Amino acid sequence: MATEVTVPVLGESITEATLGEWLKQPGDAVAVDEPIASLETDKVSVEVPSPVAGVMGQHAVQVGDTVLVGAMIATIDAGDGAPAAAAAPQPAVLQSPAAEAQASPAATAGQQAPASDPRDTPAALSPSVRRAVLEHGVDPATVKGTGKDGRLTKDDVAAAAASTPAPAPAPAAAPPVSASVAASTGRKEERVRMTRLRQTIAKRLKEAQNTAALLTTFNDVDMTAVIEARAKYKDLFEKKHGVRLGFMGFFVKAACLALKDIPSVNASIEGDEIVYHDYADISVAVSSPGGLVVPVVRDADQMSVAQVEKTIGDFGKRAKDGTLKMDEMKGGTFTISNGGVFGSLMSTPIINPPQAAVLGLHRIEDRAVVVNGQIVIRPMMYLALSYDHRLIDGREAVTFLVALKNAIEDPTRILIDL
C-alpha cells in the first residue's frame, strides 16, 4: 500500500513553495523522517520528511514546480528498497527534458549503470550542478560528491573537469537554441529561472523603495580600540566561549546602546501609528547559497558579546547548510548588514520593511586622519545608516551614528552602558 507524501505547513502566511530538489529517487530505501525532497519558500529551504519507512515511489511533481501546502508530491511504497522494486530507473547520462520524456522504460534501464549512486542521477542534481555538468561535459557518476549526504556540488564538477580532458558534449545535451547561437556567432546566453527566495528579495526591496522615504547618512569610525581589544583577548575568548571574537559582537552591542538613546530608529510604522519597541531584535544579514537571508538575534540588548557571537556564528553556518528555520527569520526591529567582508568601501543599504533603518558596515582600511593636530594612520571604516525619513529625522539619524561611533572607538562605553 502506498503512503502519500504531502507538502507540510511551511509557516504563517506561506501557502506555497517551489520544489527545489529531489533527495530520494524512485526505488530508494527511505527511513521514517528521512528527508526526501527540498522545498524553496520565500525565506528558507525546507526539507520534506518521509512519514513512513519503505521505498520511494513515483514523483508527482518535477523540480521547479510550484506546490501548495497539503498537496501530494510523492508516494512511499512498502518494501526495503531492493533493486527489483525500483519503479522508475534513472538514466546514467544526461538528456534534455524532451528526450527523457520519450525514452522507453526498457531502454532507460539498459543505459543505467548498476553501480551508479541515485544521488548523482540527473533528477537528483540541483539545477546549478546540472548546468555545470552540461557545461563541462562531466559524467556525474564518475565524480565523488563532497556536499550534504555525498551529493555533487559545482566545485566537485569543476575540479573533475580540470583534472581530466572534457569530452565533447553530445548534441542532445545542449539546448537547441543555445547550440544554434553558439554555432553562428560564438556567443552564448543562459536563462535561469529566479528562485523563490530571489523573487521575494526583489519584491521586498522594491516595495521598500516604493513605500518608504529612503535617505542615507554616513560617518566613519576609528577601529583601533576594537582591533586592539580583539587582538589582546581573542585567544582567551575562544578558549572560554568556544567561538571566535569578531567585530559583529561589538557592533551589535553598540547598536543596542544607540537604539536606546534614539528609540525612533528601533521603531516601525503600522498604518497611521508608530510602534516603539522596548527591546532590540537585531536582524543580521548573512549569505546563503540561495541569496541573502536575515535571521534575527532576539533580545540582543540582553546578551553578552559572547552570546551574540555564538548566535551569529550559528546563523552563518546553518545559512550555508540551508537549515535555518522559518521562525528565525521573522520579526526584527533593526538590521545590520556587513558588506565589508566582501570588500565593499561604501554603500546605501535598503531597509527591511517594516523596520525603519538599516546599518551598513564596510571594509576596514588604513587612512590618514588628523588626531590632536597630528596626521596619523588609523584603521577606518565607513558607516552608512539608511532610514525611513517618514519616521526618523536627519538629526536623529546623525545622533544615532555618532553614539554608535563613540561606543566603537571607546568600547568601555559598552561595558558601563554609556
Dist CA 180 CA 351 (whole Å)? 44
Q: Which of 288, 284, 283 is nearest to 319 (CA)?
A: 288
**Given 261, 393, 410, 417, which residue is catalytic?**
393
Residue 113's beta-bridge partner residues? none
Say if residue 97 is preceded by a cis peptide, omega within 30 of 0: no
Q: Which cell is 86 given?
A: 525500483
Active site residue 393: yes
| Amino acid code (one letter) for 330 | K
Residues 6+ apart with CB under 8 A from 14: 41, 42, 69, 326
Residue 389 known to be catalytic: yes
161 in Cβ contact with 4 (< 8 Å): no
Amino acid code (one letter) for 106: A
Distances in Å between the Cα of 159 and the Cα atoms of 133, 145, 153, 155, 288 are 11, 11, 10, 6, 22
Q: Respond yes or no on whether the N-terminal peptide bond of residue 105 is cis (omega within 30° of 0).
A: no
Radius of gyration of the chain (CA): 26
Question: Catalytic: which of 33, 327, 389, 410?
Answer: 389
Residues with a catalytic annotation lie at 389, 393
